[in-house]
Amino acid sequence: MKPSIAILTGAGISAESGLATFRDSNGLWANHRIEDVCTPEAWARNPQLVLDFYNQRRAQAAAAQPNAAHIALAQLQQHFPVHIITQNVDDLHERAGSHNVLHLHGQLNQARSSADPDYIIPCTQDQTLQDTDPHGNPMRPHIVWFGEAVPLIETAARRVSQADKILVVGTSMQVYPAAGLLEYAPYEAERYLVDPRPPKGLANISIIEAKAKDGVPPLVEKLIAEAARR
């Protein structure tokens, strides 16, 4: 039986496709306070500003292209059972060819009812304040905002707990609850971290000190080659 792989990805892998993170010192996020566009309170206070912000983000994500790291991770599924657990809200993993992608923090290309969290629809164009669900409730971006629960965290933890190998790419693993997912990894699971500036003091994990697009492809080749020899 082929070993299963859980892959945890974050903003770093999307940044290499040109998408700014909220920690960047320039770009889209630098012009907005998180409190003004990424919280339930911001939505209640100024929904138009929130929609404008996410309409910009949606357009930027649609214009971006998957990079070598996204493509390499998609190739893994041809050789292993793979589950990607991402903190990213873009669809670059899917466009690279990956399946079984769990978006912890929601998706830019979806909208959901502000009253019914289970009413979710595709959204590839700009959202407006006139967009409503079948009961007339406003539609909001399908994004998990700061201060909100992460509905899929238990599913993510279960997938990590069942994996034989864990890859961590493009994430500092400092934003909770996603940061706690490694704690669910089986003790004997192989762990790999691809990061140009890995945190100090990590134990029981193989560190590849490189950007995602440089470090992931050779790691994927290594894993595939190892599987072929068995």
What is the spatial distance between Cα 149 and Cα 73, in angstroms, rounded to a whole number? 28
135 is catalytic: no
Helix axes 68-76, 212-229, angle to 10 degrees: 20
Q: In this structure, what DSSP letter does residue 31 have?
A: G
From the candidates 83, 93, 105, 142, which is the catalytic residue?
A: 105
Q: What is the C-alpha separation between 69 and 154, in angstroms, rounded?
A: 26
What one-letter code names the amino acid at 174?
Q
**Among all chains, which residue has been given the structure tokens 């890859």?**
167
Angle at 123 between CA 118 and CA 126, to 5 degrees: 130
Tokens of 26: 């320039």
DSSP run (H or E) holding 71: helix 68-76
Contact between 54 and 28 under an 8 Å Cβ cutoff? The reply is no
CA distance 37 to 7: 29
Active site residues: 105
